[in-house]
Structure 1
């Protein structure tokens, strides 16, 4: 099939290579001209503006977006909404909030433009060699372009999740689960680090990933990380977050679903951003006031 890829960052570029490997004709656009030139050297068709993207596709057009969630996605979709025609299809493969995806899809539908919200997992390696996709939107439109999703995913690695918004909702919950899994792995290794034993953490991760009940791709990545830096001395323990964990917790609160593991894993990420918290100061001061407990001065 012929389609366009908008956004050639780490995910979009590797996904473009994946599409080209499977024989798809690809029009590629990114704000970085170097990225466009690089992917074109591998067989893509260059576009240096959204207008060029639209002009180089025949109706009904298929446009796959892999751009950062939020205002950038909003801006790109707003522009595309003025350029595309009835029957054209837009896929948002970024980590958009599902509520935004429902609104955007409805706005495009008013113009006769179809919209699929596509949660994308598997990281950069997955985008290149076989991703995991969760796709929401009109079932008829999904069926029409299903061969694209089948080509770029691993076996059983794509799923039509239902109505508009369900793809990004599913990816949001997926990422919330991921927060909890990563936090539990990190806490386990932290306890090992503070023990009386001297463990080879690469070896620990390797044995845990072979035959144990906690084997996983995350444990495989843990092994890889420790193979590069046995004590992780080269990095700081700052855990950034991209939004999906927060949205998962907010949704759990709205639905009155207890989700303590995901919630605490999100809060631990926030805690990692501070070296000396005001919360800690208040608690230390209170313990000193009521019990005369020692405080540590600067």
Structure 2
């Protein structure tokens, strides 16, 4: 059974005439008649009462015509999912650095449910370098990471946000150790590059931590000073002295060039609630 036969049946049911259906479908009358006889043979039932002129649908024919409407509507929906103007659809694997997930995920998931009803995302968190490598390997479809350079070969960076780094120091005169976000991570490398120009911080006793929440809690307790993106320091509950630095943290969406999510990167950036700019290698 072919859907073109069902489309012909639908037109006959709508117009009440083989001849008019043939004209509508740009077919010959004999071709329409042969299609319907073939459909009846496949269904093993009479769809038309041919004792009348023109032939009329039998009760079975009317039920089949109604069911054909449902089948053809489903076909149209499938074509809409896959056509060149179709919205993004499918199941995708998205990675996020933990420090950005709390900030971005709630609004993103709400936006996806509203604007991309045929799309699902399987989520995982990790370090920037690890996640970008998984995108390059094809193990992830995209990832939100801290950029520490240009995209890996075959990849693209879509800028999500640029956050200024802030030196945060608890009130008081006592020298304090430096709370360093793990320098093996994306944001940690950005901070380490800034420390190279700041001997007062570079040479201070150092405590290495790998969670923003832990660093902010230590800052609140007054046991150390730190450098973090301004937006992360907004979690602090206690006042601190803030000095804006020249360095910026760039949060990017990593995709592989030519993939479905790469073609949709600008829209994904909008769903993440930011304005995007693109760079690629």
TM-score range with shorter-chain normalisation?
A: under 0.3
Q: Report which of the two structures shows the higher radius of gyration computed on alpha carbons.
A: 2
Provide TM-score, normalisation by structure 1: 0.22
Higher strand proportion (structure 1 or 2)? 2
Q: TM-score, normalised by structure 2?
A: 0.23
Higher relative contact order, chain-length normalized (CA < 8 Å, sep 6+): 2
